[in-house]
Structure 1
Amino acid sequence: MSERSAEPPPRAVVVGGGPAGLMAAEMLARAGISVLVVEAKPSLGRKLLMAGKSGLNLTKDEPLDDFLRAYGAAADWLRPMLEAFGPDEVQGWAADLGQAVFTGSTGRVFPQAMKASPLLRAWLARLEGLGVRWRTRWRWTGWEGEALRFATPEGLVRITPELTVLALGGASWARLGSDGAWAGSLAERGVELAPFAPANAGLCVAWSGPMRARFGQPVKGVRFSAGRLTSRGEAVISERGLEGGGIYPLTPALRAGAPLWLDLLPDLTLEEVSARLPRSRGKASLSNHLRKALRLDPARLALLQEFGRPLPADPADLARLIKALPIRHDGLRPMDEAISTAGGVTRAALDDVLMLRACPGTYCVGEMLDWEAPTGGYLLTACLATGRWAGRAAAARLLSGQEINASVRP
């Protein structure tokens, strides 16, 4: 990067250096528009790198209608964006960056390198080649008149671009830059916002003493349900509660107060479970009896004892409990511990190309929008898709002086 005094003023500023912001910047740069990406943290893509620590889940390889169902009430809103840049396009995008991908047994798609860092390095190199500039440790503090105001290591900086893309993230993982502090600035401009709430969050559980022996153990082969939502994923018994992919998809229902139920043997019917529970167990303890008769592992047995005591003596009643064990908990983990958040800029606050109705020339993308989805590639895909959608529309606005919806379609 050259010295700021020698840099020409950018026509477009993208605030936020995550996947949504970088994708918007790429679309603008490909249209020949000068772009400056501004990031509050010391480096770009920090949350992407954190997500890739245990294997970067890029997307989910499944039919688009199935994919869209993961977005719940926001599916209709996001449909045109995901039709233009969905699971197939994400895989092609990664391949174009030199990152071969593979699909796991559950349909989740990962780079063969598994990590996010090679992909991010290749992407930043491509952006630099397109002329995209960036500044880190620049924190957006709102507007001053029509100018964007930034707190920087060198002091206050004001920039008045022709258009702005805000890609500021949700309100979880503040240490990675997503703190929701931007909400006040948008509210002052009359932008409608939905309250932030945790999404993809673990549960707080006040365990009894005997459960300490099970901390860190996975709960496998079960089905969780809350309200109309169900999940066959795994969870981990942690010191603070239950966490993991089996719990996260149920967050919308749990937030609304729906009770949580656990089917310890989802592959057996109630009648089959009951038939495997003879009335007499001889001298065997109940735990051994259940372990042998139903092949329940220690983690599942522990949960049954924790939430089912005193266990029914009647086999039919015990079978019903095993198939629908009520899980007592103290609510979701705090929002800053959630993987993502619900809430943010509402659909009503935006036009069809994600431009703020209250602030013409300013677009919003990524997790700062009011949508949510479970983990499994859905979050990243929608961030990329919304960034691409708004970036192409913003480019069309600058080049033609008007919004043309068709211009953002493939």
Structure 2
Amino acid sequence: MSRAVVIGAGPAGLMAAEELARAGAEVLVAEAKPSVARKLLMAGKSGLNLTKDEPFETLLAAYGPSAEWLRPMLAAFDAGEVQDWARGLGQEVFTGTTGRVFPVAMKASPLLRAWLARLDGLGVTIRTRWRWTGWDGDALSFDTPDGSCQETPDATVLALGGASWARLGADGHWTGPLSDRGIPLTPFAPANAALCVDWTEHMTPHFGAALKSVSWTAGDLTSRGEAILSARGLEGGGLYALTPALREGAPLHVDLLPDLTTQALVDRLAGMKRKASVSRRLRNGLRLPPVKVALIHEMAQTGSADPSDLAFALKALPIRHAGLRPMDEAISTAGGVARAALDAGLMLRDLPGVYCAGEMLDWEAPTGGYLLTGCLAAGRWAGRAAAARIAASA
């Protein structure tokens, strides 16, 4: 029987293992941590967002510059396929008002338990605390609880994650062995990252409050969604989609009233009492919540109550910040194995029989189900390509 080793037991790795096992290979999954899919379980604590239920071209556009590269993988495992896959594991799903898809249980643990049971039924062996250290000649080397171990499979799938949340396993250590083999890599950078903001003292009462019904702009990117104020800055889905532009230094602006035009705001403000203070106009005239009023005072360059000046500030308030939070705190990372290093089946051109999948590839996507969908699709694609190669050489 042919043998395959999958390194990394996150969603991409487990999906690749399943495809290889279904094709008849004897599959070993090696995971460095004491348990599998830690990042998936962490994501599921706040409601596991599986995918985004939307037309395929809309879904694809969320992957930005990597969209055309990922197109065949996502076409083979799109939002509908993800939902069918979850149902096949006994997990009913529902679609929220924004199109985000969740398991009814809202947690990752029931889905993961069912998935691991399926893999066990397919004969997949999972070894935890097996840390890959690179190659010893043609053999894969691992540090294990029983000492050093070598494996020489017919196919290898690397699904080792990016370089954020190292405590959950994605520490980017794999760049060393791949660099040693001359594999082209793109430097890591934070994606879906929070912002550092040096707030003044008057913002302290608003820590933990959400900025809702707002629209954010950085460079050519615009995102409508909320963000939370914290002692360290701003975080939330509304901002995460702008990370590519913010990484490049694009200024950040927020529209605090995106459903009103600038002229409509001017007209409303002009109809208020001329002697009313800025705070009174914002609170009583526009019914802004305290957190938005505080943000105007914190960030606006003028205290003018002139209707035009105030309307402009409300529609394009500049957010002064100190940059992105450190990469290890980011939800995901950009960078990784360069596209040019891989063939159409995600096999490394310079290492025949070695495939890569998931977040270790050089692509990124915003939160909202796109990350998990991309990882599952790439893992499935690599697993099938590896299985096809094994079958062709049999």
Question: Under TM normalisation by the shorter chain, which class is it?
Answer: over 0.9
Contact 1:109 1:377 in 2 (8 A): yes
Show the counterpart of 2:92: 100
Show the counterpart of 2:163: 171
Q: How does 1:352-367 map to 2 (within 5 A)?
A: 352-367=344-359
Q: Deviations over 1:246-300 (max 9, x none)?
A: 1100000000110000101100000001111127636644212211221211111
1:115 aligns with 2:107: yes
Structure 2 residue aligned with 1:349, among 341, 364, 374? 341
SS state at 2:188 partner:
strand
Instruction: For 2:188 and 2:371, locate their aligned partners in 1 and report how far apart those are by CA, in whole Å.
Output: 16
Structure 1 residue aligned with 2:202, among 210, 214, 238? 210
Q: Deviations over 1:168-203 (max 9, x none)?
A: 000000000001111111011111100000000000
- Tell me by how many angstroms 1:131 deviates: 0.3
Show the counterpart of 1:290: 282
Instruction: For 2:207 and 2:188, locate their aligned partners in 1 and report how far apart those are by CA, in whole Å.
Output: 30
1:34 aligns with 2:26: yes
1:20 aligns with 2:12: yes
Q: What code does the residue aligned with 1:394 have?
A: A
Instruction: For 1:57 and 1:193, locate their aligned partners in 2 and report how far apart those are by CA, in whole Å.
Output: 29
Show the counterpart of 2:310: 318
Q: How does 1:255-334 map to 2 (within 5 A)?
A: 255-278=247-270, 281=273, 284-334=276-326
- The normalised TM-score by structure 1 is 0.94
Instruction: For 1:24 and 1:326, locate their aligned partners in 2 and report how far apart those are by CA, in whole Å.
Output: 45
SS state at 1:257 partner:
coil
Structure 1 residue aligned with 2:223, among 202, 226, 231? 231
Instruction: For 1:225 and 1:244, locate their aligned partners in 2 and report how far apart those are by CA, in whole Å.
Output: 14
Show the counterpart of 2:236: 244
Contact 1:279 1:315 in 2 (8 A): no
Contact 1:279 1:314 in 2 (8 A): no
1:385 aligns with 2:377: yes
Contact 2:2 2:390 in 1 (8 A): no
Structure 1 residue aligned with 2:175, among 164, 168, 183? 183
Contact 2:269 2:285 in 1 (8 A): yes
Q: Deviations over 1:55-91 (max 9, x none)?
A: 0000000000000010000000000000000100000
- Tell me by how many angstroms 1:314 deviates: 1.9
Instruction: For 2:27 and 2:91, locate their aligned partners in 1 and report how far apart those are by CA, in whole Å.
Output: 25
Instruction: For 1:260 and 1:310, locate their aligned partners in 2 and report how far apart those are by CA, in whole Å.
Output: 18
The number of residues matched between the two structures is 394
Instruction: For 1:110 and 1:344, locate their aligned partners in 2 and report how far apart those are by CA, in whole Å.
Output: 28
1:198 aligns with 2:190: yes
Q: Deviations over 1:26-55 (max 9, x none)?
A: 000001100000000011111110000000
Contact 2:277 2:305 in 1 (8 A): no
Show the counterpart of 1:147: 139
Instruction: For 1:222 and 1:280, locate their aligned partners in 2 and report how far apart those are by CA, in whole Å.
Output: 23
Instruction: For 2:272 and 2:342, locate their aligned partners in 1 and report how far apart those are by CA, in whole Å.
Output: 65
Show the counterpart of 1:405: none
**Stretch moving more, 293-302 or 349-358:** 293-302
Gaps of 5+ in 1: 1-8, 403-410
Instruction: For 2:70 and 2:257, locate their aligned partners in 1 and report how far apart those are by CA, in whole Å.
Output: 36
Contact 1:163 1:361 in 2 (8 A): yes
Q: Deviations over 1:127-151 (max 9, x none)?
A: 0000000100111011111111111
Aligned-pair identity in percent equals 69
Instruction: For 2:136 and 2:198, locate their aligned partners in 1 and report how far apart those are by CA, in whole Å.
Output: 48
Contact 1:248 1:375 in 2 (8 A): yes
Q: What code does the residue aligned with 1:324 have?
A: A
Contact 2:272 2:285 in 1 (8 A): no
- The normalised TM-score by structure 2 is 0.98
Instruction: For 1:285 and 1:126, locate their aligned partners in 2 and report how far apart those are by CA, in whole Å.
Output: 65
Show the counterpart of 2:66: 74
Instruction: For 2:183 and 2:265, locate their aligned partners in 1 and report how far apart those are by CA, in whole Å.
Output: 54
Instruction: For 2:98 and 2:192, locate their aligned partners in 1 and report how far apart those are by CA, in whole Å.
Output: 18
Structure 2 residue aligned with 1:11, among 3, 23, 28? 3
Instruction: For 2:367 and 2:284, locate their aligned partners in 1 and report how far apart those are by CA, in whole Å.
Output: 35
Q: What code does the residue aligned with 2:383 have?
A: G
Q: What code does the residue aligned with 1:352 have?
A: A
RMSD, matched Cα: 1.2
- Tell me by how many angstroms 1:344 deviates: 0.1
1:53 aligns with 2:45: yes
Contact 2:6 2:156 in 1 (8 A): yes
Show the counterpart of 1:90: 82
SS state at 1:122 partner:
helix
Q: How does 1:397-408 map to 2 (within 5 A)?
A: 397-401=389-393
- Tell me by how many angstroms 1:159 deviates: 1.0
Q: What code does the residue aligned with 2:3 have?
A: R
SS state at 2:193 partner:
coil
